[in-house]
Amino acid sequence: MKKIAILLACATALALPFTATAQDAEGTTKKDAYRFVVVPKVVHPWFDKVNEGAQAAAAAIKAQTGSDVEVIYSAPQAADVVQQNQIIDSALATQPDGLALDLLDPSGNRASLEEAQNQKIPLVIFDSVPPEGMAIPYIGSDFCEQAKIAARRLVEVLGGEGEVAIMQGVPTAPNHSIRAECHRQVFAEHPGIKVVAEGIDNDSIETAQQQAAAIMQANPNLKGWVASDAAGPIGIGQAIVEAGKQGKVTLVGLDNLPEMLDMIREGVADSSSASQPELQGYWSVMLLWAQATGAKVPGYLDTGNAFLTKENVGG
Amino acid sequence: MQTKPLALLTRSPLAGVFVALAVIFTLSALISPYFLTPYNLSVIARGLAFVGLITIAQSMLMVLGELDLSLGVIGGFCGVISGILMVRLGVEPYSAMLLAVLLGAALGLVNGLLVTMLRLHSLVLTIGTAGIFGGANLVLTRGVAITGIPKDVQYLGRGDVLGMPVPFVIMLMALAVATFVMLKTPFGRYMYAIGNNQAGARMLGIKVDKVRLLVFVVAGAIAALAGVLMVARLGTAQPSIGETWVLAPIAASVIGGVATTGGVGSPIGAIFGAGIIAIIENIIVLFGVSPYWQGIVSGAIVVLAISFDAISRRYLRRDA
């Protein structure tokens, strides 16, 4: 009897570490329901595609695990960091299982992000980069490479010579400013290319159109355009058409909004260097869910860029 | 027979908006389990503080019969100037903030001088000056935020005192001073007299232009205070600060019973109105309302609040 008791005690002692390991293993925490909040920069069609990807990820997790997954999409009405912080702070009050954000300005968003970390709410940043010194997983394409693809294409179409202009998006948004800077770097490598003007569209098609129209008026020899956000090329394209400069001014666009694709099909734009918003939304939710289950996640996830031309955008 | 407190309530012009605020607050608390959490209440209070300061300034001008559409831009511009002073020019942070507030007063003085000396309509004039101040902001910053705001001053935007956000406490102090001046001093009575009948006030010997000028100056300083506090809150001087502070303070003032024609209302009522807007903005996120429906939902709640205010006032008056 004593021997049996000793054997049982030994077996229990040996089994304990395994039990503990199974319970503590990364990614094994399970909940019946998850609620994630997605906060983009602003109400914008590009972010609708992010939301589509996020909802697809929620459906996928539900189908695979049986857990209910709710993705709440809460967008600022204007690209204003004050308004965005107010939404983030209010969203934190609902204690979500995770928060995916596209930062308008990492330094301006820092206080809200620190509050989220204090509350131990998993975070993911998409289409942007985390504030300096903050360890937050982020998702996006290589913004610089995306811009360089567009700028190199413009240089190629222009044969390495001519006056060009750059449309910036929201100057404080890191992805926009990175793209604008990388456009400049490519143009600086080509002595025949002269950047004669830069506009700021603040991610608004209307503003982009007004800025582009004025810049083309002031620079009649302008030969080409690149942009730093998704709204920019659409406004530029409208300005090109209105000014009757189709075929005389080359536009290499950015991203894959329906209007952008139409402009490529109609020949208003030559091509577009596109990030993939659906993938960014999808993997944002996946990374939030993984964090909520206790799994470790990569610090950076690259969703890649696509180069769109008349040949591959389809009818 | 009516009890005395109810009689007092019915006589108060704030009764309607207060009841509307209380109803929205109670409904939000009943519907959302997150609404009454200390964290969420501090989120609402902090958000209300900045728009609230502009609302106080705007309501003072509206009592005079004026409207200043440049207040938000003054806030943003002065916030940026405070950032430039403390980060680029190495001015001691608190001194930089004080200088920025003084600049706000100076910009208010410019508005006031143009309105009083050239007899310009304040609404039209400040559309122009908002363009100038906002343009100067962009010229100075090129749209890029000024980072590196010293941590010492960030307490003014992010810290708490007595369990309340510091900017909210500052807003309450400004509200107390503005209310005292407007309701308990001769200067305040002059403001209402001018708002009611400018020509009549002149005939009574009130120095109408001096009063108007001074209120523009104070409004500019309060707007600048909101701007520098927001810089402390964000830890950066954003050129976009104040862009959304134009219509909300006017709407808040109107909801709070301040007449756009002048002579009626008080900053307290306006802050109640701002409180309604702040709660609406909060519950929209708490309830997860789609961004495409937010305009409809918040607009409908504001219309309901104003209607409720009007109906309850009529009902209470009939009852009195």
Please indicate, yes or no, whether residues A203 and A137 belong to a single structural domain of this protein: no
Asked if the structure places residue B193 within a domain, the reply is yes
Mean pLDDT, rounded, for B30-39: 92
pLDDT per position as a tens digit, A101-143:
999 888 889 999 999 999 999 999 999 889 988 999 999 889 8
Q: What's the domain range around A137?
A: 33-141+277-304
Asked if the structure places residue A14 within a domain, the reply is no
Buried b (16+ CB within 10 A) or exposed e, B284-317: bbbebbebeebeeebeebbeebbebbeebbeebe
| Local structure of A102: helix, strand or coil | coil
Q: What's the domain range around B112?
A: 18-319
Mean pLDDT, rounded, for A65-82: 92
Lowest model confidence (mean pLDDT) among B83-87, B166-170, B277-281: B277-281
Asked if the structure places residue A222 within a domain, the reply is yes
Please indicate, yes or no, whether residues A172 and A161 belong to a single structural domain of this protein: yes
| Closest chain A C-alpha to B240 CA, distance in angstroms | 6
Mean of pLDDT over chain A = 90
| Calpha distance B68→B126 (Å, rounded) | 6
| Closest chain A C-alpha to B10 CA, distance in angstroms | 34
Cβ proximity of A173 and A104 under 8 Å: yes
Nearest CA in chain A to B242: A82
Residue B40 has pLDDT above 90, yes or no: yes
CATH number of B82's domain: 1.10.3470
Mean pLDDT, rounded, for B158-182: 95
pLDDT of residue A164: 97
Please indicate, yes or no, whether residues A96 and A122 belong to a single structural domain of this protein: yes
Nearest CA in chain B to A42: B291
- Identity of the residue in B37, B39, B145 whose CB atom sits nearest the CB atom of A107: B145
Asked if the structure places residue A312 within a domain, the reply is no
Mean of pLDDT over chain B = 90
Mean pLDDT, rounded, for B175-190: 96
DSSP letters of B160-200?
Answer: EETTEEHHHHHHHHHHHHHHHHHHHSHHHHHHHHHHH-HHH
Residue A223 has pLDDT above 90, yes or no: yes
A75 contacts in chain B (CB < 8 Å): 291
Q: Tokens for B127?
A: 């559309």
List phi, psi (to 5°) of A216: -70, -30
pLDDT of residue A23: 52
Please indicate, yes or no, whether residues A267 and A288 belong to a single structural domain of this protein: no
CATH number of A271's domain: 3.40.50.2300
| Calpha distance A282→A285 (Å, rounded) | 6
Lowest model confidence (mean pLDDT) among A47-56, B50-59, B254-263: B254-263
| Local structure of B210: helix, strand or coil | helix
Q: Do B43 and A90 lie within an 8 Å CB cutoff?
A: yes
| Calpha distance A274→A288 (Å, rounded) | 24
Asked if the structure places residue B231 within a domain, the reply is yes
Chain B residues with CB within 8 Å of chain A CB? 32, 34-35, 37, 39-40, 43, 46-47, 50, 142-145, 147, 154, 157-158, 230, 233-236, 238-241, 243-244, 281-282, 285-286, 288, 290-292, 294-295
Chains A, B: CB contacts within 8 A come to: 94
Buried b (16+ CB within 10 A) or exposed e, A54-92: bbbbbeebeeeeebebebbbbbbebbbbbbbbbbbbbbb
Asked if the structure places residue B11 within a domain, the reply is no
pLDDT of residue A46: 87
Residues sharing a CB contact under 8 Å with residue A103, sequence separation 6 or more, in sequence order? A41, A109, A125, A128, A129, A130, A131, A173, A174
Mean pLDDT, rounded, for B196-204: 93
pLDDT of residue A18: 45
Closest residue by Cα to residue A203 from A86, A48, A46, A81? A46
| Calpha distance B224→B108 (Å, rounded) | 10
Residues sharing a CB contact under 8 Å with residue A12, sequence separation 6 or more, in sequence order? none
Asked if the structure places residue B181 within a domain, the reply is yes
Percent above pLDDT 90 for chain B: 67
Residue A243 has pLDDT above 80, yes or no: yes
> What is the number of structural domains in chain A?
2
ipTM of the complex: 0.78
Please indicate, yes or no, whether residues A170 and A267 belong to a single structural domain of this protein: yes
> What is the number of structural domains in chain B?
1
Whose tokens are 């109906």? That residue is B311
Q: Do A94 and B286 lie within an 8 Å CB cutoff?
A: yes
Please indicate, yes or no, whether residues A181 and A105 belong to a single structural domain of this protein: no
- Identity of the residue in B35, B37, B291 whose CB atom sits nearest the CB atom of A75: B291
Asked if the structure places residue B9 within a domain, the reply is no
| Closest chain A C-alpha to B236 CA, distance in angstroms | 6
Closest residue by Cα to residue B62 from B262, B269, B272? B262
Provide the H-helix boundaries in A119-203: 143-157, 174-188
Please indicate, yes or no, whether residues A95 and A202 belong to a single structural domain of this protein: no
Whose tokens are 């413009």? That residue is A154
| Calpha distance A301→A60 (Å, rounded) | 19
Asked if the structure places residue A60 within a domain, the reply is yes
pLDDT per position as a tens digit, A26-42:
888 889 999 999 999 98
Lowest model confidence (mean pLDDT) among A18-22, A217-221, A262-266, B19-23: A18-22
Asked if the structure places residue B48 within a domain, the reply is yes
**Does B232 or B303 have the greater pLDDT score?**
B232
